[in-house]
Structure 1
Amino acid sequence: MPLPQVCVCYLLRERDGRVEVLLGRKKHGLGMGYFVAPGGKLEPGESPADAAVREIFEESGLVVAAADLESRGVLSYLFPHREAWSQESNVFVCRRWQGEPTPSDEIDPEWFDVLAIPLDEMWDDARRWLPVVLAGGDVRRTFVFGADLATVVEERSPVA
């Protein structure tokens, strides 16, 4: 059975010669308390890019065009101890939008230097792939989380 589909988008900007990424502390639900990028579940019939555009607007107030999203890969998250949390996430990066980020019911957006991302306050898998994506790379991995529902106990790359 296919995993539920979600999306996440890392918005990048350049300020004073540094690259920054927009993250926000999750206020409730899955991942509460962690820093995350805007994203969420795909609605029926919605493409990952269209879902990312909608979620970015709902969570940060920013207006993004689907054509400006850079697809960076797919991550599978397996939670054998809570299967309802298992999902497949479509990862995007975006460098163009309209507006200024504003808090929402989901997150309080903040800009972080990409060299000082709060990885210790993010999901455990982020340290294993996010710096590569933010540096321009792509990712395709599966992460299996342990009984604590927070720690990665296995990482798999796709079979060639």
Structure 2
Amino acid sequence: MRPRTRGPLPEAVASGQEADPAPAGEWVSIDGVEYRRVVLCFLFRGGDDSGAADRIHGDRQVLLGLKRTGFGTGRVVALGGKIDGAETDLDAAVREVAEESGIGLVPAEVRAAGSITWQFPARPAWNMAASLFTAEAGNATAVACEEIEPRWYGVDAIPWQDMWQDAPHWVPGLLAGRPVHATVVMSDDNESVTGVVVD
């Protein structure tokens, strides 16, 4: 069994506010259940990014990627991954986006967008607590890597059938520019969803 560094519940998960800049370790315990801390970052381009209510219209696009290896292989996912060591959630988001798409983000321009936990009762090692982020990508070009093949999708043309089954429950809020705080419990098949709560 790999060593686990436990830390306090990240601010974003505990209170629904922006993420605590202090590192909390790679694992966190929430209500007696352990979760690996991860980050997801949704990059946007095009359209009118000044009005959140209008973000689902026009030529607004979001960067997602086909997972080539590792957890979620074969699915279309948001960019992101595990927090390494003592790095902050924001540092992890910037690093993961660079690794998975070649796009360099300016940390000050990355926005906290909420939090989500996934519980896999039949496979607890997959439990995750994610801090969510969004950023504008401008004219940046995404480049594929070994792990993920990034692709731009219209926010009104998301390939839901190719994503995890929980995605339609909470991703639309992010696409509309709203912060999302969600809890997902997966079924014993580790594919379907037993329950979702979205605040």
Query: Structure 2-normalised TM-score?
Result: 0.75
| Residue 122 in structure 1 maps to residue 163 in structure 2 | yes
| Residue 107 in structure 1 maps to residue 148 in structure 2 | yes
Whether contact under 8 Å (1:39, 1:52) holds in the other structure is yes
- Root-mean-square deviation (CA, aligned residues, Å) is 1.7
| Matching of residues 46-125 of structure 1 within 5 Å | 46-96=87-137, 99-125=140-166
> Hey, what's the Cα distance between the residues in 2 that align with 1:38 and 1:133?
14
| Residue 13 in structure 1 maps to residue 45 in structure 2 | yes
Q: Could you list the structure 1 runs, at least 4 aligned residues long, displaced by more than 6 angstroms after superposition.
A: none
| Residue 142 in structure 1 maps to residue 142 in structure 2 | no
How many residue pairs get matched? 158
Equivalent position of 1:3 in the other structure:
35
> Hey, what's the Cα distance between the residues in 2 that align with 1:115 and 1:99?
21
Query: Aligned AA for 1:63?
Result: G
Query: Residues 26-70 of structure 1: CA distance to partner in whole angstroms, max 9, x if unpaired?
Result: 011111111012100001111111000000000000000111111
> Hey, what's the Cα distance between the residues in 2 that align with 1:99 and 1:114?
18
Shift of 1:120: 1.2
> Hey, what's the Cα distance between the residues in 1 that align with 2:140 and 2:184?
34
Cα gap change, 1:97 to 1:58, in 2 (>3 Å): farther
Greater mean deviation of Cα atoms: 145-154 or 98-107: 98-107
Greater mean deviation of Cα atoms: 46-55 or 99-108: 99-108
SS in 1 for 2:156: helix
Query: Structure 1-normalised TM-score?
Result: 0.93
Shift of 1:157: 4.7
SS in 2 for 1:57: helix
The higher radius of gyration belongs to: 2
Cα gap change, 1:15 to 1:137, in 2 (>3 Å): closer
Shift of 1:100: 1.3
> Hey, what's the Cα distance between the residues in 2 that align with 1:61 and 1:97?
14
> Hey, what's the Cα distance between the residues in 2 that align with 1:98 and 1:62?
10
Whether contact under 8 Å (2:169, 2:196) holds in the other structure is no
Query: Aligned AA for 1:41?
Result: K
Q: Which runs of 5 or more structure 2 residues have no equivalent in the other structure?
A: 1-28, 49-57
Equivalent position of 1:31 in the other structure:
72
Q: Which runs of 5 or more structure 1 residues have no equivalent in the other structure?
A: none
- Percent sequence identity over aligned pairs: 38
SS in 1 for 2:100: helix
